Structure 1
Amino acid sequence: MPQAKATPAVADDKLRLFEQLFEADKNRLYAYIFAFVSNSAAADDIFQETSLTLWHQFDKFELGTNFSKWANTIAFNRVLTFRTKHKKYQLGLNEDLLKELSDNLAVIESNAIQQEQKWHHLDNCRATLSSPLNNIYQRFYVENKTAKEVAEITGRSFYAVRKAVHKLRRKLIDCVDLKTKGDRHESQ
């Protein structure tokens, strides 16, 4: 059965989405490729081939899944193909070790993404703090003032500041945990 051609509007949306995802990921993807070949010219060639493949196979990408992970899989296969053709870029690493390195990089990137999300949640949670707690947060965590210094600045007792810092810390941890759990439920 012949496949229906995409309308120009759908094609434009697809192009915009690809550009958005690719732009956000291209520097990380290049670094990922470079880590396997340690040569700028080789990395440039593989990156170019990978970029074209990503565009040509973008119909196979499932929206809502991790673009970086999908791009890494394609890039990794391009690296393997390149290494097979150009033996001098093998750096004494066999394919099993390369696969293990790729898997480790994926875990590191996933952890970095989760950490970035937690920082984002912290910013959102901080926006919900009362003005006095936000003031203590600013002085204690951003300006690195001691509890004694914060007490002197705010006119509160040392113990009141310590209690407020404890309350602040508990409130932010609970808020970030709640938002993080919400992220996990949304991704399932």
Structure 2
Amino acid sequence: MKPEETENFVQLLTAHQSKLYAYIRSLLPDSQAVQDVLQETNLVLWRRSEEFEPGTNFVAWACKVAYFQVLAYYRDNKRDSMVFNVELVSMLAKQNEEKLAGSKDLQRVLSSCLAKLPEQSRRLIQQRYAAGGSVQAIAEEQGRSVGAVSQMLYRIRQLLQECVQKSLASEQGE
């Protein structure tokens, strides 16, 4: 693997740790087991990094690896009081994979809706949700009251919510 490919893979792996953790957590009840399986999953992902095709869905690939690590965990710990049920774990895994795919759709639709906002509204949202952004800082910068800025942000979020709901409904053919 070339150095830039290694760097890209590490960036993907670290950027998606929280999603991977949440996915594993949805399949295992014990937080220590989740940490153990996440660590093992990361090792397997690293060992198999050359199998990942750049441009494909990293999260889906990583979750599939995590799924098999969860199954291995249950197999190796079947003496525990919890009964190992492959069908249940499979059903939970499928539901969570669908949720992750849905969150990608939601992000895409939200980006599209943000682009439709007037420039001033889009800039206000970006200021508010940028690292360290606050209503207080925006109010001071614009010479407005905190209440006025809060009200503007509320209205913009309402517009975004309506846009996202309409877009998702039209994509689903409703």
Question: Aligned runs of 1:66-105 on 2, under 5 Å?
Answer: 66-87=57-78, 91-105=82-96
Same amino acid, percent of matched pairs: 25
2-structure distance, mates of 1:108, 1:143: 22
C-alpha distance in 2 between matches for 1:140 and 1:27: 28
Question: 1:88: Cα distance to partner?
Answer: 5.1
Work out whether residues 37 and 89 of structure 1, in 8 Å CA contact, stay in contact via their aligned partners in 2.
no
Aligned counterparts of 1:31 and 1:87: Cα–Cα separation in 2: 23
Deviation at 1:60, TM superposition (A): 0.6
Structure 1 unmatched ranges of 5 or more: 1-5, 131-137, 145-164, 182-188
Secondary structure of 1:64's counterpart equals: coil
Task: Provide the rounded CA distance (Å) in 2 between the counterparts of 1:54 and 1:88.
Answer: 27
Structure possessing the higher relative contact order (Cα contacts under 8 Å, 6 or more residues apart): 2
Query: Counterparts of 1:31-180 in structure 2 under 5 Å?
Result: 31-87=22-78, 91-127=82-118, 138=152, 141-142=155-156
CA gap of 1:95–1:41, structure 2 versus 1, over 3 A, is same
SS at match of 1:37: coil
How far apart are the structure 2 equivalents of 1:139 and 1:102?
37
Q: CA deviation at 1:31?
A: 1.8
TM-score by length of 2: 0.67
Q: CA offset at residue 93 of structure 1?
A: 4.8
- The Cα shift of 1:141 comes to 2.5
Q: Any stretches of 5+ residues in structure 2 without a counterpart?
A: 122-151
After TM superposition, what 4+ stretches of structure 1 lie above 4 angstroms from structure 2? 127-130
What TM-score does the superposition give when structure 1 sets the normalisation length?
A: 0.62
CA deviations over 1:73-108 (Å, ceiling 9, x no partner): 100001101110101567335101211111111111
Structure 2 match to 1:134 = none
Q: Aligned partners of 2:153 and 2:5: how far apart in 1?
A: 47
